[in-house]
Structure 1
């Protein structure tokens, strides 16, 4: 929902959204984007070797770009290189800030199970796995490079401790108080904080509207074999879905961060 909101709010004259033409920039892990910046193929490199090159790619992109852009990232905030060469994956000198959308892990595990085509128990286990990553192959030809996720708590902490301007926004607040929350987002992202434009953008990006668009036109980010990308989007679905044991496991694994974010009484 946030990526679609940025797309709509970037233009003073909003128009009906095209899910497959979101003008929010290439995902930070895009293989072709990184290759073009570096000037050579990544096909023969290992994921570790690619990781060490990503900061250079971002610096080059910044040097040839007149205006800053908005780029989605799934990565935890990690460091690459060793010794004096150790540096953040996303260099501070070319990163203006980061908007971090966080959601109650009790609901995340259900959505993640659907997205990953696995059981909820498997999803819960993956969310507590420190070596969790996307596109985790030694030598692969995927359209994205590897992205370290770590555990859910480690991912959150990594961005909480990042040496960047980071704004945390809870998914639940986006749903319960959308205008206030997205006004803050617009201000942070240096987008027009205009009441009429924000209200129009929110209407165009209502979850039900996005679901309808996906049914009509499809959505290329939907994983193969998954019925829909925009599944439910509701808050508190875990109460009707998870067993007591599953809830207890998640709370045990992530209680500290959950408490810090207001997800536990």
Structure 2
């Protein structure tokens, strides 16, 4: 049995950027934007769940799906000898059956990617096609979730997020997967080579400095934007004008009103201080 490295993050925190950099390292060349990235698919992938368990998730309730998801990961790990990587937007949580959604027995580690929630709010507003005020409310909603559509044939299974603070705390303090590796979006901007080296060392890959440099060059934000303009990006939702919008750290200073920034800080102050954002 192999196991998983979970690339966990609240949405719009830099998960895709890190995944693409790792993909470039893995294959030794930039990704093809004409196809959906196959590296580190989302852990809530409906097709993978159905195939691994031989069931039709469309016939199950959300609670039944949550109970069976750990079995799906165990089956996927059993079918390969190589480490598996999955993008995760779920908060770390206990299923209705009383066990971790992400089984410690098949967990090799977790990379927890975080971003200043003041920037997350702006990015989520553009991604979801809502106002910044609505995004700020979403970040404070303990019931926030993804893929809860009534259409049971959606590509993704339901995912519980919780509030931004709850989501971050769930992974920072998740039992059974320590030590995890905390990766701050802002540090990826400040010193990308060092941060990618930390990630590579954590997951046990071998990558010379030239490979790190080339992977980062291939995933520079201007290049990702240009590639999306040329070929599109299949992970862009219909609600968003583009997936790779600005990729800035600290952009909230010129976008949020003082009242909006203060509200986020009031709602998430303790966790922001813990991560060095206040």
TM-score interval (norm. to shorter) = over 0.9
- Mind listing any 5+ residue stretches in structure 1 that lack a counterpart? none
Q: 1:142 aligns with which of 131, 154, 157?
A: 154
Secondary structure of residue in 2 paired with 1:260: helix
Residue 131 in structure 1 maps to residue 143 in structure 2? yes
1:197-230: CA deviation from partner (whole Å, max 9, x where unpaired): 0011000111110000000000000011421100
Q: Which residue of 2 aligns with 1:7?
A: 23
* Pairs within 5 Å for 1:185-264: 185-264=199-278
CA distance in 2, matches of 1:25, 1:126: 26
Residue 77 in structure 1 maps to residue 78 in structure 2? no
**Cα deviation, residue 169, structure 1:** 0.6
CA distance in 2, matches of 1:262, 1:26: 30
**Cα deviation, residue 17, structure 1:** 2.3
The alignment covers a number of residue pairs equal to 259
Q: 1:110 aligns with which of 122, 138, 145?
A: 122
CA distance in 2, matches of 1:137, 1:49: 16
1:207-256: CA deviation from partner (whole Å, max 9, x where unpaired): 11000000000000001142110000011111110001100100000000
**Cα deviation, residue 139, structure 1:** 6.4
**Cα deviation, residue 194, structure 1:** 1.5
1:110-130: CA deviation from partner (whole Å, max 9, x where unpaired): 000011110000000000000
Q: Which residue of 2 aligns with 1:35?
A: 50
Secondary structure of residue in 1 paired with 2:182: strand
- Mind listing any 5+ residue stretches in structure 2 that lack a counterpart? 1-16
CA distance in 1, matches of 2:54, 2:82: 21
Secondary structure of residue in 2 paired with 1:227: coil
Runs of at least 4 residues of structure 1 off by over 3 A? none
* Pairs within 5 Å for 1:131-170: 131-137=143-149, 140-163=152-175, 164-165=177-178, 166-170=180-184
Output the TM-score relative to the length of structure 2.
Answer: 0.90
Q: Which residue of 1 aligns with 2:188?
A: 174
Q: 2:104 aligns with which of 78, 92, 109?
A: 92
Contact 2:63 2:96 (C-alpha < 8 Å) held by counterparts: no
**Cα deviation, residue 7, structure 1:** 0.3
Contact 2:77 2:84 (C-alpha < 8 Å) held by counterparts: no
CA distance in 2, matches of 1:60, 1:235: 39
